[in-house]
Amino acid sequence: MEKSAVFNNSKLLPYALLAPQLIITFVFFYWPASQAVLQSFKREDAFGLVSEFVGLENYQALFAQPEYYKSMLTTLVFSTLVAALSLSIALLFATQADKNLKAAPVYKTFMIWPYAVAPAVAGVLWFFIFHPSLGTLARPLRGMGLDWNPLLNGNHAMTLVVMSAVWKQIAYNFLFFLAGLQSIPKSVIEAGAIDGAGPMRRFWTIIFPLLSPTTFFLLVVNIVYVFFDTFGIIDAVTGGGPAGATTTMVYKVYADGRLGGDLGGSAAQSVVLMVIVIALTAIQFKYVERKVQY
Amino acid sequence: MANVVLRDVRKTYAGGFEAIKGIDFEVGDGQFCVLVGPSGCGKSTLLRMVAGLETITSGDIDIGGRIVNQVEPADRDIAMVFQNYALYPHMSVYNNMAYGLRNRRMPEPEIDTRVQEAARILELGTMLDRKPKQLSGGQRQRVAMGRAIVRQPKVFLFDEPLSNLDAKLRIAMRVEIRKLQRRLKTTSIYVTHDQLEAMTLADILVVMNSGRVEQIGNPLDIYQKPATTFVASFIGAPPMNLMPLRADEIRAQFAGDSRAGSEAGILGIRPEDFVISSETIAGGIALDLTVEAIERVGAETFIYGTRQHEIQGVAANPGDLPPGEVIVRIPGAVAPAIGERIKAVAPRENLHLFSADGRKRIDL
């Protein structure tokens, strides 16, 4: 039975105890978010001294831009690739680490390190490794006959940011998958083996379904990650280029607002982004979560 | 239908720990074999070796005339019931039972026939669509049984299947398992640490201790003629009273019987073989006891007493009891008072004698 505290003496005490969390949530989440919404209905002059209310004009201008649809498509490609790759590779690594290996603890520790690297630093690392003229791996790639140049070729640039974003996210996904795998009772898998299921069949009919709550959680977290947290990587690796090939929606918010000085338009974009992520998460919870409960 | 034969089966772990130290026994076709022993004695490991879940270091395991040492668990034609049931939590009861059959590509209509039949036998008919989470412990246990019987395997393996159930349900399920096994006539190996389960279920009882077999046989024979002091104190509850005797005491007690020998030994008397009486029995034993504690359990009463005339030179009891303590079990609830002095006597034919190290029974 759940225990609940009873406050008889003071009606204010419960609120006082809740206040620190509520204040933090309000100051760091709701206030900025409401400012962004407010900003999206205004237009500022070039010096940021005067702003006027313009209604939906920022949104109209935004949806009239072909570049905006392009950034949506880029985001779709980028997020699908990053989420799919980082989840599946992490799952593969986790299943391997779950085996009874002698060096498993060392392996697990090394697997987690990339997560400790700041996104911008990770981006710089990948930028240098694959830099067309400086990169350690760019020469062998050319040697294999590939005209590798992420600075000019949009697909190469996309590959590079996807790789760096995946590399960083694998560590996180790996941790959760490993914990998920370890919580599956060994006897259930042994029962599967006695029931005549080979290793692959055991994986797909027993282990994978039992991991589905973990997978679902990671899917939600990864979507949010690719939508927002990959900004640092993109900024450091490609700066959204070449020719906007890696400009995702969140990067465009930054590019238009910070570099382009269009605060209203940028705010409108961030509101759109916010709505998309809220909607995606809601959809996932409504339709996917129901199926992963057992 | 098959017999199971183990020949000098051994298991040594990578660290050098010898879990199973050479075990031989045979379970005949349709027999119910129970492996019993304290925790850590290797009984579960041995069962898992028969199942194919643990490798065999040396020796042979033979199921139905085929040596299965290198055979995958799935191909040994066995079914196992696990202690924690190991049901597939994401599958319905029906699918839990059908899973093993589907993996073997059995046609759906036949799967359905078998699952329905198993559900009928186990009274799970109304629960086929439920998930394991929605079932009680006893029902989960029955699903685990169902998963084993639909396969119609050569051998059933049970790894402490009742230890997660409450006492009442455990007794009910124990009876059900035995009935089911009699009906299906499937060779079974059952692991338990509960000597009562072992006694009631087994056709053949294998008593194990630290990786070795202490005694193999019919449960009643083992109860009546334990081969070692370990078996004597493990089988039967409360345990047999064991008292070390010096050579001269042995000679005095068993005067004229050459089989008793003239060396020191351990005398054993089961609590239920005592009678409280003022009359001594010729050739039997009589112990003067001071009553220390009384346990009334309704139909019978346990009296814990200490010997007044401590047998000279006796250091400690080799069994589970503190030195000098004797348990007497009497029918009914009428018992002496605490502190009272009583005489517990047992006839000659109920005395057990073991060698001084407890490893050998001396038949009288």
pLDDT in tens, A80-122: 999 999 999 999 988 888 877 777 788 878 888 888 888 788 8
* A193 with B73: Cβ contact below 8 A: yes
- Closest Cα to residue A243, out of A163, A166, A167, A156? A156
Compare CB distances from A194 to B80, B88, B131 and report the shortest one's residue: B80
pLDDT, average across residues B175-196: 91
Between vectors from CA A39 to CA A35 and to CA A43, what angle results, nearest 5°? Answer: 160
Compare CB distances from A206 to B51, B72, B88 and report the shortest one's residue: B88
Closest Cα of chain A to B203: distance in Å? 25
Q: Which residues in chain B have Cβ-Cβ distances shorter than 8 Å to A198?
A: 74
Residue B50: closest C-alpha in chain A: A194
Q: What is the pLDDT of residue B315?
A: 43
Place of tokens 């009442």: B168
Compare CB distances from B84 to A185, A193, A195 and report the shortest one's residue: A185
Q: Which residues pair with B78 in a beta bridge?
A: B155
* pLDDT grade for B313, boundaries at 50, 70 and 90: very low
* A194 with B100: Cβ contact below 8 A: yes
pLDDT of A146 higher than 60: yes
* A193 with B89: Cβ contact below 8 A: no
* B51 with A194: Cβ contact below 8 A: yes
Q: What is the pLDDT of residue B323?
A: 67
Chain B contact for A294, CB < 8 A? yes
Q: Which residues in chain B have Cβ-Cβ distances shorter than 8 Å to A196?
A: 74, 100, 103-104
Contacts of A101 (CB under 8 A, 6+ apart): A107
Average pLDDT, chain B: 88
Contact B155, B4 (CB under 8 A): yes
Beta carbon pairs, A and B, within 8 Å = 62
Amino acid at B266: I
Chain B contact for A264, CB < 8 A? no
* pLDDT grade for B60, boundaries at 50, 70 and 90: very high
- Closest Cα to residue B78, out of B55, B61, B93? B61
Chain B contact for A101, CB < 8 A? no
Q: Residue A185 has which token pair?
A: 């009772």
**Higher model confidence: residue A291 or residue B355?**
B355
Compare CB distances from B103 to A201, A209, A212 and report the shortest one's residue: A201
Compare CB distances from A194 to B78, B83, B88 and report the shortest one's residue: B78
Q: Which residues in chain A have Cβ-Cβ distances shorter than 8 Å to B78?
A: 194
Return the minimum-mean-pLDDT range out of A122-131, A168-177, B126-135: A122-131
Could you say which residues from 192 to 221 on chain A have a Cβ atom under 8 Å away from some Cβ of chain B? 192-198, 201, 205-206, 209-210, 212
- Closest Cα to residue A80, out of A68, A69, A88, A91? A88
Q: What is the pLDDT of residue B320?
A: 53
Closest Cα of chain A to B295: distance in Å? 36
* A209 with B53: Cβ contact below 8 A: no
Contact B74, A193 (CB under 8 A): yes
* pLDDT grade for B307, boundaries at 50, 70 and 90: confident
Cα B65 to Cα B63: distance, rounded to the nearest angstrom: 6
Compare CB distances from B82 to A187, A201, A209 and report the shortest one's residue: A187
Q: Interface of chain B against chain A, CB under 8 Å?
A: 51-53, 72-74, 78-80, 82-84, 86-90, 99-100, 103-104, 131, 133, 147, 151
- Closest Cα to residue B228, out of B218, B237, B216? B216
pLDDT of A183 higher than 50: yes
Cα A87 to Cα A99: distance, rounded to the nearest angstrom: 19
Closest Cα of chain A to B313: distance in Å? 52
Cα A188 to Cα A210: distance, rounded to the nearest angstrom: 10
* pLDDT grade for B191, boundaries at 50, 70 and 90: very high
Contact B154, B3 (CB under 8 A): no
Q: Which residues in chain B have Cβ-Cβ distances shorter than 8 Å to A194?
A: 51-53, 73-74, 78-80, 100
Residue-wise pLDDT tens digits, B245-301 = 888 777 777 776 777 777 788 889 999 999 888 888 877 888 888 899 999 988 899
Residue-wise pLDDT tens digits, B199-215 = 999 999 999 999 999 99
Helix (H, G, I), strand (E, B) or coil at B80: strand
Q: What is the pLDDT of residue A197?
A: 86
Q: What is the pLDDT of residue A290?
A: 64
- Alpha-carbon distance values, A198 to A186, A205, B54 (Å): 15, 10, 17
* B53 with A188: Cβ contact below 8 A: no
Return the minimum-mean-pLDDT range out of A14-23, A141-150, B140-149: A141-150
Contact B80, B147 (CB under 8 A): no
pTM: 0.79
